[in-house]
Amino acid sequence: MTARQHQQRFESLLHEHRGIVFKVACLYSRSATDREDLVQEISVQLWRSFGGYDEARAKFSTWMYRIALNVAISQARRERWSEASRFEPLEAHHLETVGGGEPIAEPDERLQAMYTFIGQLDPLNRALILLYLEDRSYTEIAEILGISETNVATKISRIKQKMRGRMTGAVTTVRA
């Protein structure tokens, strides 16, 4: 494959799976500028790593998630934001970007509470929930994050339990 063909293949795959990059950037950024920077950094790392991508070993989307999440988590750890300014809570307008620009319906209180909950999770757990909500298998999540399937199952179970407790409290608070 020529260098030009290699680049065209990368650009085609990146365009086809660009939603992954935007989803990860939305979950790990505090502002629009930070999201743009993270999208750019993820894209650069994807390009740098593309020569080592082996489609016989992993689907492109799995490989892409692994790189995107590693870049985002590394950046979050490097910046060591204070608790007060750590992350902008995940809001519905973030998901508009991910959905290809199509507006989405105004979320109800429970959905808004779920976005807030996810935005407050640590970077690894946020990645777990993102992949879980994307209907990725535990095997694929484990492969992307480099942890065991048992660890994936345990962490997701704990997050869901914690979320149920928060959501029950949020619904009670909203209705009261």
Residue 29: the pLDDT is 85
**35 close to 29: Cβ distance less than 8 angstroms:** yes
**Considering Cα of 157, then 111, then 81, then 37, what sign does the dihedral take?**
positive
Read off the tokens for 129: 């929930």
Convert the pLDDT of each residue in 44-67 to its tens digit.
999 999 999 988 888 999 999 999
Q: How is 28-42 classified by DSSP, letter by letter?
A: T-SSHHHHHHHHHHH
Residue 113: the pLDDT is 79
Per DSSP, the three-state class of 7 is: helix
Residue 131: the pLDDT is 92
- For residue 33, CA distances in Å to 14, 30, 37, 136, 165 come to 21, 8, 6, 29, 33
Whether the per-residue pLDDT at 174 is higher than 50: the answer is no
Convert the pLDDT of each residue in 121-148 to its tens digit.
888 899 999 899 889 999 999 999 999 9
pLDDT band at 99 (very low <50, low <70, confident <90, very high): very low
Helix (H) or strand (E) holding 73: helix 60-79
pLDDT band at 43 (very low <50, low <70, confident <90, very high): very high
Q: How many domains does the chain have?
A: 1
Residue 112: the pLDDT is 78
**31 close to 88: Cβ distance less than 8 angstroms:** yes
The whole domain housing 131 covers 3-175
Q: What is the mean pLDDT of residues 97-105?
A: 46
Residue 170: the pLDDT is 53
